[in-house]
Amino acid sequence: MKLFCLVIAGMLASVHVSAQQDSSVRLDDVSIRSGLNKRPALKSATAAGILNPAQLRNHTTASPVSAMNSLSGVRMEERSPGSYRLSLRGSLLRSPFGIRNTKIYLDVFPLTDAGGNTYLNLIDMSAIDRVEVLKGPQSDLYGANSGGVIVIDPSIGDKTPPFASVSLSGGSFGLRRESARLDLQGEHAGIQIKQAWHQSDGYRNNSAMNRKYLQLAPWIHAGDHDRIRALVIYSDLGYQTPGGLTLGQYQANASAARPAAGPNPGAEEQQAAIYNRTFFGGLSNEADLGKKLKHVAAVFASASDFENPFITNYEQRKEQTFGFRTYFEFAEKLENTRLNLHLGAEHLVTGSTVKNYQNQRGTAAAPMADDALRATQSFLFAHLRTEFGERLQAELGISLNRYGYQYQSFFPQQTAENERRFDPKLMPRLALSYLLAPGLALRASAARGYSTPTISEVRASDNQINTALDAESGNNYEAGLRYEHPGRWWSLNIAAFDYRLNRAIVRRLTPNDLEYFINAGGTRQQGLELQGNLWLIRPAEKQLIRGLEWRIATTYSDFRFAGYRNADTDYSGNRLTGVPKWVAVNSLHVLLPLRLDLFVQHNFTDAIPLDDANLDYSRRYHLLEARISCAAIRLGPGKINFFAGADNLLNQRYSLGNDLNAFGKRYYNAAAPRNYYAGLSMEIR
């Protein structure tokens, strides 16, 4: 807590010094575009983190991890290249791999399927133009979710001048990347094409990755009232999974893959990997029905061919998702009061066939299980935002959520089709924002979080369909303070929250290293978050340092088990597994002559409990990364940019994603030591 107070005091002290300088420089407005319409972040009652295009460019294009972790309250992990895990104000107890319990949208299209899984690793970094993280339950607009919602902006349908670019880069451990973009447009129609290829050998044995990515985004303005947009994605991803190591193995040879142990062979011998080929398509129309009324409708579908040769089995899944999202927006102004009302619905259906075989050195052998599941998720929502004058804003929203799944087994025994329907849930949210003074706003909110079990938890690697698994739910109470200088050269955002979660879904392992999930009591999650930026030297042309920006993101998490038991052991009061108490990220962005641009970021992550008993902890670590870029050559309407960077400059030995509660204490997945990359890009406008 002392560190948190010192950070705030330091920010305020620096303001007193810098406020004496000229404030003629005006930086871009900070606004929140998701939540169905654009609004200034200052007046928003939502705790939000934003990564704009300039911030994303400061980080490596090989992975979104360092960029996402520069936001307070966000923890993203990458156990090996391409193997992402992500949590918003929560733990990763539910995610042995992949992303669960976090809802992600591509513009208006849900990337998260009805079964609760999100294949974020299918999306190449070059396809992401902006990220908004809405922290805390957002049930009033996005239905069932517990920790928050992420909205990725691929900039589809934007009217921009014709543009073409290509980028080539390479780096340590066999990193090779290529990406290209082409924007074409006429008066009433256009198309954006993005393509990327990514390959890496990885630092550890059995950790190579390959991804081929193609994205098409055509748009049409049909008359003066209809804006039609489409998004089509094909991604072919493959990455090897080296597996967790014990502490002794990690210290002896951190680059090794998991070796054979007892009756189980090693990761290399079994050619452990994940292969995912997915097609995603969506079509939306935004129609103006008058000066006060707008209607947005979107339909979408995806198909995935998923294979996972693992140490204990070989899984094959085929998944198809269909759905729609629609809403009406009504806006009205009454003297000093402005009303904005949204009424809408979202519906998703995901069908999955899951087959497991014995794994004979990377080849599917004798069948073990064959099941079919179909998850259905739908919700109705209503959201009213009212602005009373220029100071007070109130938001009141509610959603009615329905969820269920059907299941049938075909092997080793065939069963009749059955289903599990969850009781409908009303999920309310109330939020207030009050402008205390110009640029200074106080906000508070209360919301209910609700997260149903994912299909991968109902039918886990033990090949059993667990119909006893219930949804987890809780109440979140939050208060925050946001300041933005009128010149927009410094800002500060502070949030405090208390989230009580009941019937928490957690992962367990059998003695044969097979996973299953149970509801095991609850958690009490109290936290503080600070996010800020300050231009220590504001941008100017006639000085040696043309600009110097400091950004800070500090997260304090006092997350504890409450009424939480495993067999005969009560873990109440223990720290929540996988959550560091402190994370502090600081960065400096330096603008230099000759179009040079230097970015340096430091990430401190505290020790992390690796098991529910809090007997084993990972070591705290310091990560230092740097990137320099130069727009060195101009060729008529085009320019060539050069960039180079380095990660883990302090050469820390750390695990960027631990296997929690791992059988045999195989917790550790070593991240790469000091590594480098460089490349160039060419743009033509």
Whether pLDDT at 10 is above 50: no
Cα-based angle 666, 667, 668 (whole degrees, multiple of 5): 105
Assigned token pair, 527: 């936290």
- Which residue in the block uniquely carries the two structure tokens 């939306």? 284
Buried b (16+ CB within 10 A) or exposed e, 26-59: ebeebebebbbeebebbbbbbbbbbbeeebbbbb
Cβ neighbour number for residue 544 with a 10 Å cutoff: 7
**Mean pLDDT of the region 576-592:** 96
CA distance 244 to 240: 13
Assigned token pair, 49: 């983190």
Whether pLDDT at 312 is above 70: yes
Assigned token pair, 432: 């207030």
Buried b (16+ CB within 10 A) or exposed e, 73-84: bbbbbbbbbbbb
Assigned token pair, 187: 């008066």
User: How do residues 71-121 score in pLDDT, each as one tens digit?
Assistant: 999 999 999 999 999 999 977 777 767 788 889 999 999 999 999 999 999
User: How do residues 350-401 score in pLDDT, each as one tens digit?
Assistant: 999 999 999 999 999 999 999 999 999 999 999 999 999 989 999 999 999 9
CA distance 100 to 88: 11
Element (H, E) at 14: helix 2-18
CA distance 346 to 105: 12
Q: Give the per-residue pLDDT at 62.
A: 92
C-beta separation of 364 from 450 below 8 A: no
Q: What percent of the chain has a predicted confidence (pLDDT) above 70? A: 94
User: Facing residues of 429 across strands?
Assistant: 397, 447
pTM flag (> 0.95): no
Which residues neighbour 12 within 8 Å (Cβ) at sequence distance 6 or greater? none
Q: Give the per-residue pLDDT at 531.
A: 97
**How high does pLDDT run on average in the chain?**
91
Whether pLDDT at 467 is above 70: yes
Q: Give the per-residue pLDDT at 248.
A: 97
- Which residue in the block uniquely carries the two structure tokens 């923890």? 75
Q: Give the per-residue pLDDT at 157.
A: 62
Burial class of residue 223 in the structure, from the number of CB atoms within 10 Å of its CB (0-12 exposed, 13-18 middle, 19+ buried): exposed
Whether pLDDT at 159 is above 80: no
Q: What is the largest CA-CA distance in the chain?
A: 77
- CA distances 505 to 260, 466, 501, 643, Å, are 30, 12, 10, 44
Q: Give the per-residue pLDDT at 190.
A: 92
Per-residue pLDDT band for 273 (boundaries 50, 70, 90) equals: very high
Whether pLDDT at 147 is above 90: no
List the domain range (segments joined by +) for residue 206: 2-684
Q: Determine the distance from the C-alpha atom of residue 342 to the mean position of all C-alpha atoms in its chain, rounded to a whole number.
A: 25
C-beta separation of 227 from 219 below 8 A: yes
Q: What is the CATH number of the domain that holds 144?
A: 2.40.170.20
Number of domains in the chain: 1
Q: Give the per-residue pLDDT at 4.
A: 40
User: How do residues 171-212 score in pLDDT, each as one tens digit?
Assistant: 999 999 999 999 998 888 999 999 999 999 999 999 999 999
Residue of higher predicted confidence among 473 and 633: 473
- Which residue in the block uniquely carries the two structure tokens 């994205």? 215
Burial class of residue 101 in the structure, from the number of CB atoms within 10 Å of its CB (0-12 exposed, 13-18 middle, 19+ buried): buried
Whether pLDDT at 25 is above 50: no
Q: Give the per-residue pLDDT at 7.
A: 42
Whether pLDDT at 565 is above 60: yes
Q: Phi then psi for 426, rounded to 5 degrees?
A: -90, 125
Helix/strand/coil (H/E/C) assignment for every residue in 242-259: CCCECHHHHHHCCCCCCC
Pick from 21-30, 78-87, 335-344, 632-641: least confident = 21-30
3-state DSSP assignment of residue 55: helix
Q: Give the per-residue pLDDT at 35.
A: 60
Q: Give the per-residue pLDDT at 567.
A: 74
User: How do residues 598-655 score in pLDDT, each as one tens digit?
Assistant: 999 999 999 999 999 999 999 999 999 999 999 878 877 889 999 999 999 999 999 9
User: How do residues 508-549 score in pLDDT, each as one tens digit?
Assistant: 877 777 788 888 888 999 999 999 999 999 988 888 899 999
Residue of higher predicted confidence among 560 and 563: 560
Q: Give the per-residue pLDDT at 202.
A: 97
Whether pLDDT at 419 is above 90: yes
Q: Give the per-residue pLDDT at 506.
A: 84
Element (H, E) at 68: helix 65-68
Return the half-sphere exposure (C-beta side, CA atoms, 13 A cut-off) of residue 16: 5
Whether pLDDT at 140 is above 80: yes
User: Facing residues of 532 across strands?
Assistant: 492, 552
**Mean pLDDT of the region 406-411:** 96
C-beta separation of 205 from 268 below 8 A: yes
* Radius of gyration for the chain, computed over Cα atoms and rounded to the nearest angstrom: 25
Cβ neighbour number for residue 293 with a 10 Å cutoff: 14
Single-letter amino acid code for the residue at 635: L
Per-residue pLDDT band for 27 (boundaries 50, 70, 90) equals: low
Q: Give the per-residue pLDDT at 263.
A: 86
**Mean pLDDT of the region 398-409:** 96
